[in-house]
Amino acid sequence: MITFLLQGLRISGPYVLAALAGVFSETGGVVNIALEGILLNGALAAVLAAYWTGSPWLGVLAGVLAGVAAAGIHAFAALRYKVDQVISGLAVNFLVAGLSRFLLKLVFNSTSNSARVEGLAPWAGVDPFLVLTVLIVIASHWTIKRTVFGLRLRAVGEHPRAAETLGIKVLRMRLWGVLISGALAGLGGAWLSLDQHQFTDAMSGGRGYIALAAVIIGKWTPLGAAAAALFFGFAEASQIILQTYGLRVPTQFVQMIPYALTLAAVAGLIGRSRPPAADGIPYSDEQD
């Protein structure tokens, strides 16, 4: 039971961070389907940095920065050039998928996985990622609900023109939302790869998309999205445990559980969970 709990938390971590990332981006009004690619980019950069420097903590830092960089591309296309946000996000996903394969081949001469790297040493027996994530969940909730930044971010995601009339720089706020999103999802990616001590091709495995579902189920709030992400994480953990029990069900069906749950949960919520009013709608400063 304890192992199940711990494993559930471990697996949930990247989901939780990616879901929070989604909340920050979409609260500001930018749909961030690039979460998948940001996770992958963070995972890759973390392993590369840990491999080259020997320090897993520098790996974590690199993961965060790589997440910000990938999010920056999305922000640049979506905010500066008003590219459709879904298209721009998908482009980032494809870009990172290709780039990571290229670097795997180049650095590790492999098509599937990197060399093994050292993971983070536990703090008093607890995974530092877990501690960080708990703190980040609380900080995110506090940031959105209590700070000036959070209030303004919500405003630009709901009614950007109203925010602009009050002197708030809409695009700058949105940029911050997306960059924070990148940092969080990049950290999630670092957790994913350092936890396994290596990077494997396409290791994000759809977690970015599931995180988006968690954002919807969590009604675009940090606590709600984190709770929904935990739910998906535990669904995946139970799937792994069910497999080890050797049920007489094809493993493919057991592996489907988290995705089927996602579909069911999102379908059940259609119409009851309302996104920020201006989510996904490009904003330009001067239009009449």
Partner 1 sequence: MSGLAVELRGIVKRYPRVVANDGVDLSVESGTIHALIGENGAGKSTLMKILYGMVRPDEGTLSINGKPADFSGPRDAIIAGIGMVHQHFMLVKPLSVAENVVLGSEPGASAVGTWDQDGAKAEVARLSKEYGVKVESSAVVETLSVGEEQRVEILKVLYRGAKILILDEPTAVLTPHECDELFKTLKGLRAAGSTILFISHKLKEVMSLCDAATVMRRGKTVGTKKISETSQNELAQMMIGDLEIKEKAAVPYRGEASEVLRLENVSVRGPRDELALKGVSLSLKAGEVLGVAGVEGNGQRELAEVVCGLSAAAEGRVTRGGRVGYVPEDRHHAGLMLAAAAWENMLLGRHWEPVFSTPFRLQRGAIAGYGRKIIADYDLRPPELEQEAGAFSGGNQQKIIVGREVSKDPKILVAAHPTRGVDWGASALIHQKILETKAAGAGVLLISADLDEVLSLSDRIIVLFSGRVMGEVARADAKIEKLGCWMAGVSGT
* Sites of contact with partner 1 (CB under 8 A): 143, 146-149, 151-152, 154-155, 158-159, 161-169, 277, 286, 288
- Compute the least distance from the CB of residue 170 to partner 1, in Å: 10
In angstroms, give the least distance from the CB of 273 to partner 1. Answer: 13
- Please, which residue, 138 or 162, has the CB nearer to partner 1? 162
Question: What's at 252, amino acid-wise?
Answer: Q
Closer residue to partner 1 (CB): 124 or 166: 166
Q: 116 or 145: whose CB is closer to partner 1?
A: 145
Q: How far is 258 from 237, CA to CA, in rounded Å?
A: 9
Q: Which is nearer to partner 1, 162 or 260 (CB)?
A: 162
Q: What are phi and psi of 123, to 5 degrees?
A: -95, 110
Which of residues 1 and 148 has its CB atom nearest to partner 1 in the complex? Answer: 148
> Least CB distance from residue 172 to partner 1, whole Å?
11
Taking each helix axis from N to C end, the angle separating 207-217 and 222-244, rounded to the nearest 10 degrees, works out to 130
- Whole-number minimum distance, CB 168 to partner 1, in Å? 5
DSSP structure string for 150-191: HHHHHHHHH-HHHHHHTT--HHHHHHHHHHHHHHHHHHHHHH
Q: At 202, which amino acid appears?
A: A
Q: Minimum Å distance from CB 279 to partner 1?
A: 12
2-10, Cβ contacts within 8 angstroms, sequence gap of 24 or more: 4/237, 4/238, 4/241, 7/237, 7/240, 7/241, 8/230, 8/233, 8/234, 8/237, 8/238, 9/130, 9/230, 9/233, 10/127, 10/130, 10/195
The nearer residue to partner 1, 138 or 247, going by C-beta atoms, is 138
Give the nearest distance from C-beta 83 to partner 1 in angstroms.
18
